[in-house]
Amino acid sequence: MKLRIKNLYSSYHGSLILENINLSVKDREFVTILGPSGSGKSTLLNILAGVLPPDKGYIFVEDVEIKGLSKNFAYMPQQDLLMPWKTILENVILYGTINNDKKSAKERALNSFERFGLKGYENRYPRELSGGMRQRAAFLRTALCGADIMLLDEPFAALDVITRGQMQDWLKGLRQELNRTTILVTHDIDEAIYLSDRILILTGKPASFKKEIVITEKNRSREWLFAQTELHNEIYKYLKDGDMEIC
Ligand SMILES: Nc1ncnc2c1ncn2[C@@H]1O[C@H](COP(=O)(O)OP(=O)(O)O)[C@@H](O)[C@H]1O
Ligand SMILES: [Mg+2]
């Protein structure tokens, strides 16, 4: 589904955080919002997910205006938020259970455990899984939610560098299958280059989009990524300069 944000503003305790945010995302496009910590990335996803009202502005999905909670978004918040007293299977079918469709939710989930690298852990508890596995479980729960637009808030930020790399490879491989419009939020430049069709740089106080970068490469590998030093440096400069506007 396509998404459009128009003239969006948000403030927190009287100070403006997001200023005049405008964004159009195409159906099935993978867009990354890249910005330093505190720039307002989570605020923007919270607004899209409907858990935080904006000061003003408009959100459209397929040209229909959305206000508040909407069935169009599958939201993976910054913390994995798995419930410690529920098994992994119970955790991942949570949304299905809320929608009173426990049996089919369970079937669909069980079919996906292998693909998400969680086979054999269906009846384990979150504390028994590694950080990477917990993130995959949280991801599976988001994917099973069925909503067409995925909102991913720094899904791999808490992981060690090796696990993070594995998870990025895994997400890259899964993209084709998920086949959904995705908005990823991150402060990791390489993660953004590796995964995105398009990167939007969010900086400044208040923050707005300072630069857009389209990446067309179809065959991305780690080798390809390591060779993108020029692009990496260009993005770094935009992130840094955007921040310098504060002074
Ligand atoms: N619950 C909160 N407590 C304190 N500050 C907040 C809170 N929510 C938002 N803010 C303010 O909003 C800004 C953006 O926060 P956030 O959207 O979480 O940034 P990001 O996700 O990019 O790190 C912060 O710099 C802070 O000033
Ligand atoms: Mg955040």
Does the structure show a pLDDT above 60 at 171? yes
Q: What is the CATH number of the domain that holds 39?
A: 3.40.50.300
Q: Count the helices and strands in the chain (H runs, E runs).
A: 9, 10
The token pair that represents 72 in the structure block: 């169009």
Summary mean pLDDT of the chain: 90
* 163 pLDDT higher than 50: yes
Q: Could you tell me if the CB of 203 is within 6 A of ligand 1?
A: no
Whether residue 171 lies inside any domain: the answer is: yes
Using the predicted structure, report yes or no on whether residue 233 has a pLDDT greater than 90: yes
Residue 246 in this model has a pLDDT that exceeds 60: no
Kindly give the distance from the C-alpha atom of residue 21 to the centroid of ligand 1, in angstroms, as a whole number. Answer: 16
pLDDT given at position 105:
77
Domain that holds residue 35: 28-54+68-72+148-247
Token pair belonging to 208 = 């707005």
Q: What predicted TM-score, i.e. pTM, was given to this entire model?
A: 0.90
Give the ligand at the shortest distance from the Cα of 11.
1
Q: Which of 19, 37, 39 to mutate to test the pocket of ligand 1 (most atoms within 8 A of CB)?
A: 39
Residues 117 and 237 in one domain: no
Task: Tell me, yes or no, whether 167 and 200 share the same domain.
Answer: yes
37 C-beta closer than 6 A to ligand 1: yes
The residue whose two tokens read 């890259």 is 172
How many domains in the chain?
2
The tokens for 58 are 């408009």
Instruction: Give the distance (Å) from ligand 1 centre to CA of residue 40.
Output: 6
pLDDT of residue 245: 46
244 vs 209, more confident: 209
CA-to-CA distance for 145 and 93, rounded, in angstroms?
8
Backbone angles phi, psi at 60, to 5 degrees: -125, 135
Say which residues have a Cβ less than 8 Å from residue 244's Cβ, sequence separation at least 6.
none
The residue that leads in pLDDT, 182 or 79, is 182
Do 141 and 154 belong together in one domain? no
Q: Are residues 158 and 213 in the same domain?
A: yes
Please name the residue whose Cα sits nearest to atom 26 of ligand 1. Answer: 38
Identify the residue with better confidence: 146 or 37. 37
Q: Say what the pLDDT of residue 247 is.
A: 36
Q: Which of 11, 13, 17 to mutate to test the pocket of ligand 1 (most atoms within 8 A of CB)?
A: 17
d(CA 197, CA 81): 28
Cα separation, 216 vs 211, in Å, equals: 16
Pairing status of strand 64-65 against strand 56-61:
antiparallel
CA of residue 40 to ligand 2 center, whole Å: 7
Same domain, 152 and 50: yes
Same domain, 155 and 181: yes
The average pLDDT across 215-219 equals 94
The pLDDT score that the predictor gives to residue 144 is 83
Residue type, 67: K
Together in a domain, 97 and 40: no
Q: Is residue 97 part of a domain?
A: yes
Does one domain contain both 131 and 105?
yes
Asked whether residue 98 carries a pLDDT value surpassing 60, the answer given is no
| Shared domain check, 215 and 153 | yes
Domain stops at, among 146, 180, 198: 146
- Tell whether the model's pLDDT for residue 28 goes beyond 50: yes
Task: Compute the distance between CA of residue 76 and CA of residue 73 in angstroms, rounded to an integer.
Answer: 10
Task: Record the tokens describing residue 85, joined without a space.
Answer: 């007293």
Q: Is 43 in the pocket of ligand 1 (CB under 6 A)?
A: yes
Nearest atom in ligand 1 to 15's CA: 27
Q: Is residue 88 part of a domain?
A: yes
Angle of helix 131-144 relative to helix 161-178, nearest 10 degrees, comes to 20
- Is 151:48 a contact under the CB 8 Å cutoff? yes
